[in-house]
Structure formats: C-alpha cells, structure tokens
Amino acid sequence: MSEKIIQTNPTPFNKVAVDPITLDVIESALRNTREQMDATVFRTAMSPGIREQGDAFPMVANVDGKMIVGQFGSFIHGFMEGYDGTLEEGDMILTNDPYSCGGAISHLNDYLVIKPIFKDGRHMCWAAHFGHLTDIGGRVPGSLPNEAREIFEEGTAFPPVKIFRKGELQEDIMKIALRNSRMPHWNEGDFKGVIAACTIAERRCVEMAERFGDDVFYSALEELLERNCRAMRQLIMETVPEQKQSFEDYICDDALGSGPYKIKCSMWREGERVVFDFDGTDPQSPGSINFMLNEEMFKMFCGTFMISAFDPQILFNDGFYDYIDVRIPKGSLLKPIRPAALSCRTHALGRIFDVLSGLLGQGNPDFLCGAGFSDSPHFMYSGRDTNGEWYQLYQIGFGGIPARPVGDGPDGHSLWPNFKNVPNEFLEAYFPLRIETYECIIDSGGAGYHRGGNGIRMGYRFLEDGEISIHDDRWLTYPWGVNGAEPGMRSTKELVREGGEREFLPSKCDRYPVKGGDILYFNTWGGGGVGDPLTREPERVLNDVLAGLVSHHAAENSYGVVIKNNIVEFEATKVLRSSKKVTINNDAKVFNFGGEVEDLRARCQKETGLEPPKAPDFTASRVKA
C-alpha cells in the first residue's frame, strides 16, 4: 500500500508507549470525530435517504487502512487492491463501482469517498465516507432496477478517480455525475456533504496529532487495534467450535420468476483462526439480487455479531481481521462476475446477518436470535405533478426485529446501524401523497417465550398519477423462529384502487402505474420468536394484548393464555397449555422455517394469488470469468 502514497517526508512513525488515560482520550476523540462526520453529512444532505434516515457510513482508519472507528468496516483494502494510481496530499478518491474495489461498496448508488490524511508531509491515517445517492441514472427512477440483467442498466459507474487533485475539485467529474441523475440537486448536496465529512475527519486527526505528538497518535491507533485483537482472539477460542457446522437461508426470488436462491455458510475453527466458507451458495443470478460480498466487510459483520452477542464491552474495530478466514466461491450469488447486476443486493446483504445468527448460535443455543434482519424494503414513487414538476421519493422501510435471548424484538424498527424512519410529516410536506395509516401489524411477530417484533403497515394514498417501484423480500420464505418459537409473518404489498379493486403486488416490481386516489398498503415482515411460547408469562401476554401487539385469538392459540374482560383466567390457561404441550411441542425443533419450499410456494399463491417463483435454472446464468 505504501508505494502508492507519495510523501514529501518519508520518515516513519515510531511506536511508543501510550498511557491508559491518553489512550482513552484519543479513543473518545475519534468516536467524536466519527459523530461529527455523520452530523456534517446529515445537515448538508438533501435526500430523505441520507438527511432523514442516515444511509451514510463514516470511517477513520490507521495508516494501513484498518478501521479504528466506523460502522461498516474498512473500505481501504479493497480499494487499494484495485487502484493502480498514486495518492498525495490534497487528493481525494471517488468510486461507486463494486467491481473496481473488490466489493468495498456493493452497488452503484453508494458513492465512496476516500481521503489520505497527511501531516508535515507524512501519510498519517485515512478518512472515508460513503452515502447512498438517491438517483445515479439507469433504467428506473431511484436506480434500483429489479429486472436489470447487467450493471450497465443500473446507472453511471465511476472507477476510482480523483475527485480532488492536490486540493482542487475536479469539476468535470462532478458535472458528469450530476448530469446523469434525475435528482441532481439532491445528489449535489449529498455528495458534497460526504466530501465535507472527510475534510472534518482530516482536521480532527491533525489536531490530535498536534496535541499529543505524531508518534503518540500513531501508537494509540495501533494499541486500539491490538486491544481489540486480544479480546476477539479470546472470544473466538471460547465460542467457535473446531467441528464444522453449517447453516443456510434463502432469497425469495430474483424478480424474473426464479427462486428461492440459497446462501450457505459453514464455519469451523483451526487453532486461533475461524474459517467461514460459502461453498454451497447458489451461482449468481441473472437478476439484480447478486451481492458482491467483500471479505473484509464480512469479517466486520462477524465481529459485530460476536461482540454484540457475547461481549458488548469490546471496542469494535478492524484489529481482529487476521483471525478470520473468509472463502467465497467466484461466480456465486456472493461473488458474481462482471457485468452481473447488483443494484438490489440488499436482500442478500440483510440475509447474511440471519445466516450468521443461525450459524454462530448453533453451538450456543442460549445465544440464538430469531430471523429478522431479512431485508431492507425500498419504496420509490415518481412522476410529474399537475404543474409539470418532477417528484421522486426514495424511502427505506422497517420491519420486525427478531426476538433475542434476553427479550422481545422491537416492533417496526431497523437493524441497520443508527437508521431512522422518514417522518410522515416530511413525506406529506414534500411529496404528493398522504399517509393513511402507520401502525404495527398485530400478531406479525413470531410467538415465543420472547416475542419477535411486529412488522409495520404503512398506507400511502397517492395524490398524483405516477409510478411506483418496490424492492423487497421475505414474501415467500418466513423469518424463522428458534428453540420452539414460531416464525414471523411474511411481507405483503396490497394496492387498493380508488374504485375499491384490490390486488397484491409482487415484492419486486418496477414502474408499476398508480393513479391519484389509489392506496398502497406496504406491509413488512415480522421477526422470528425465541423459546416456547407456552412458557411466556401470562402477564406479559396480557400486556401485549392490551397494547394491541397480540390478538386475543393468538393469545389463546399461540400462547395458550385465556383472557376475559382484560384479565388472565389462570386456571383455564393452565388447562389449555397442558393440552397444547401434548399436541404441539413434542416435535419442537431448534429452527422453525414455517415449512418446506414447495409448501411455502403453494401457501403463498393461495394467500396472494401471485405466481410463486420457479426453481432457478443456473445453466442459463453462467458467465465466463
């Protein structure tokens, strides 16, 4: 990496001892820097995706590109492997092309900006930030075409280029980016916010080095990585078995009539290293559900999950990466070959967390969560209003969070780091629509000793004729429950025409026409439950019923709790639960997937009238490397 960095002062840093107080001060200052980066972007951005929801991710990394603070792990390694130029002080790199950076970012909407930070002519560290830009061209508004078959259909791709060269903005590149967007004013605000965030990080890191000394700052970053490495090494030894164990889950369909697509991962420990092998994952899809999974990013996913599940006190950074080996077959759904389409990779990205949950929890059932990070539903609505003005909404929806070993899953929330919902008042103020309903879907969370979170029912009444696009999943497969619990409810999309006609829409559709007065009911999935629902305390079931989260019917049929006049009938509950334990719980399994695939296909068609996907034909999608 170092030979690509031009330094006017090549004197290396010296590693020195850093006292614990100074280390904590620098760590806190770096955390604050990361928060300032976010604040800068959110206050500058124009799109609701970044401004309101926070779909942008900052990072500060050491001189070797290892993340010290951030959310999505380091982008530097994948970028530098594919970058064949040089970098010097004042340069800033832009890329949004997953194939140019080893999947460091995974679809074209994510504009990644990377800035090497110098002090007195020496390369000291890195700042990076990426944000999801609402529209970067392509065949559909929002640049997330479900039916794309090649990345060329998804928008304008930038290989790694210098957006700043020696401190000077390259205006021509900016003009190309904005010219290829349906929402250039949004993109300009978002893009400049990301650039400004990296500049803020540079300023703060230089200030820290000036305060404590260059060698102390450099050494503190190294010590933060080493401290994480020591903690994670011990965690791996304690929680990961040497015996191979495997888990698999599915993406429901590819929007082209085929599915489901399998994601399989096996895990075992070799000495102090843990191996994750995705052999057995289905080949890449002809549609846009492929996910270019960067190995470094997957290591971050593993670390995040393990730290959250087993020891939340560990500082999260990239220090443990040497202890994880990731193997992904080329040409698979998770390592597609260019020019495979990638825009709607979010389903696979979310499903990776469900796979990790099932995989890491098998050897420690007491730590198992249900499924629920199943998806990140996207909704787009666009057209021209009665004044001829273009409008375009891009919004990410929330679903039910899975139940955890220590409690219920939150209702209608996001598992993406620090994401927020778009306020309904914002939607109604800026777009020609009205929110008719925004409510928790009763009984949609999987029943269990700990209940899965309920999904959200959101009713959009359209005030103008236009087109909608939906980018969603978990409409065929269920978010599974664990340790005797039930799975969560699947997602559905129902359109009610102004005249009263009703129809279910596919979970993936592009440019579906709607008229003013039509209502779309956007129903998201529920989280899977944890533990036997017949052991849940009746008082907790009563509270759920009174809160409108569980119906009286489900209280009796799923939880075996009899409630009359808002009071638990304890004797009747005892009798009912005794009878249900004999008929229901004798064959309880660790994972409850809701049925076999063929059964799910038939059930889904009966419930919605939609044609279920057919098994994929992978001979038609093979691509020569």
Which tens digits make up the pLDDT trace of 346-361? Answer: 999 989 989 998 998 8
Sign of torsion, CA 51 52 55 60? positive
Residue 374 confidence class, pLDDT cut points 50, 70, 90? low
- The DSSP string of 587-623 is G--SEE-SS-HHHHHHHHHHHH-PPPPBPP-GGGS--
Q: For residue range 379-426, list pLDDT tens digits in order.
A: 999 999 999 999 999 999 988 999 999 999 999 887 666 788 899 999
pTM, to two decimals:
0.93
Question: Nearest to residue 128, comparing CAs of 173, 85, 167, 80?
Answer: 80
SS3 331: coil
Q: How confident is the model over 201-228, as a mean pLDDT?
A: 96
Residue 314 confidence class, pLDDT cut points 50, 70, 90? low
Residue 625 confidence class, pLDDT cut points 50, 70, 90? very low
Q: How confident is the model over 87-96, as a mean pLDDT?
A: 96
Domain definitions of the chain by residue range: 2-231, 368-531
Inform me whether the pLDDT recorded for 550 exceeds 80: yes
Mean pLDDT of the chain: 92
Inform me whether the pLDDT recorded for 512 exceeds 90: yes
Look at residue 307 in the predicted model and tell me its pLDDT.
Answer: 73
Inform me whether the pLDDT recorded for 583 exceeds 70: no
Look at residue 228 in the predicted model and tell me its pLDDT.
Answer: 83
In this structure, what token pair is assigned to residue 81? 């492997």
Look at residue 301 in the predicted model and tell me its pLDDT.
Answer: 83
Which run of H or of E encompasses 384? strand 378-384
Q: For residue range 19-43, list pLDDT tens digits in order.
A: 999 999 999 999 999 999 999 999 9
- The DSSP string of 93-162 is EEE--GGGTTTSS-STTEEEEEEEEEETTEEEEEEEEEEE-S---SSSTTS--TT--BGGGS-----SEE
Look at residue 240 in the predicted model and tell me its pLDDT.
Answer: 86
Look at residue 315 in the predicted model and tell me its pLDDT.
Answer: 65
Inform me whether the pLDDT recorded for 586 exceeds 60: no
Cα 330 to its chain centre, rounded Å, is: 22
Look at residue 352 in the predicted model and tell me its pLDDT.
Answer: 92
